[in-house]
Structure 1
Amino acid sequence: MTQPADNQPQFNGSAPNQGAPMYIQNSPEQMRGAQLAQTSMILGILSLFVVGIILGPIAISKAKQAEQLHTAATVGKVTGWIGTIFGILSILWIVLLVVMSVAASQS
């Protein structure tokens, strides 16, 4: 077994302040961005199943606010857009059914 050279740091198995937990403190801006990103994600997922025409644009808006605070909010933005598109398609489907039922009742 070789001996370490004198100029190399040596590790004796104990670190300074070992046992003291280290906390990373986020700035209020980072915390607000994370909160907006999470809200955007929740609203985006809900927009896929419930009232997408309303919740989708809100999710997109929250995602944009989070991104302005330098926080990634891709999931909220994507699910918000998909929910909005589903909402628009469902409204178009309902309008089509109403038009077809009115046309059928007049003939």
Structure 2
Amino acid sequence: MLLEAIMLLTATKAGRHAVREKGTYLVLRELHRWEREPDVLAACEKLIQVLIGDEPGPGMENLLEVSIPEDVEQQLQCLDREEEERWQREREERREAQEQHEEPSR
């Protein structure tokens, strides 16, 4: 939830500036090194991309108010679904590996 809250702060130019100025990237970089939860890693990666990316051009100071063409929105939704499916597979693989590790040897 904290990563999502920080992401919302980065929706505006002033918010992105404030978040960058506080050294948030360094904290996120360390979090990303030890975090194992796929959902947290995904949120961390998205926030890092916002922080290290170029500043959006004129008219995009508030990213929550940007109009996105329908075809682009559909492409982004498709990418989100693919990413979620990938994270789900990784969670299942990790769970299976844990179960195999916990089973007593016969």
**Shorter-chain TM-score category?**
0.3 to 0.5
Relative contact order higher in (CA < 8 Å, ≥ 6 apart): 2
Q: Give the TM-score, by structure 2 length.
A: 0.35
Q: Give the TM-score, by structure 1 length.
A: 0.35
Which has a greater percent of helix?
2
